[in-house]
Amino acid sequence: MKTKMMMLGIVVAVGSCLSGCMRITYGQLPRVDALNRLVAGETTSAELLMELGEPRGRGVYHFNPDQEPRELWQYEYITAQSSITNTNIDLSMLWILIKEDRYDGHLFFDAEEKIRSH
């Protein structure tokens, strides 16, 4: 009986391992609730840092040649959970545009995706 219980425990442990093979997290979840408090042309970079934290990346936004390039701050977060048959991915991406040290716009989206294997 004791041996059977041990075997059952091993099977459960191995099964749990196989059902959740790997989990990877990348970045930090953007504080998107702060977006509604940002005002274009008014919110300063210092206030952005307070609201959103330090960005993971920085760049330049220049879509319209008639406008000056904007500084771009990037926030992102990904978590991926892999199991036997598929991978679930949660993705959040936030770009903040800054002009002359003031918030000037943003792009945000998040998604939940399932990648299946066959």
Partner 1 sequence: MKTGVKILIVMVPFLGLAAGCQTNSVSTTEPFRQIEKLSTHLVRGESTREQVLSIFGEPSGTGSSIFPPDHTRYEVWFYEDIEATNEVQPYSNVYTGQSLDPSLANALYMVIRQQWLLVFLKDNTYAGYLWSSNVGEIEGKVYSL
Q: Which residues bind partner 1 (CB under 8 A)?
A: 18, 21-22, 24, 26, 35, 40, 56-57, 63-64, 67, 70, 74, 76, 78, 80, 82-87, 89, 91, 93, 97, 99, 104-118
C-alpha 95/C-alpha 57 separation (Å) is 9
CA torsion 105→76→64→71, rounded to 10°? 70
CB of 31 to partner 1, least distance (A): 14
Phi, psi for residue 76 in degrees, rounded to 5: -150, 155
What minimum distance in Å lies between the beta carbon of 118 and partner 1? 6
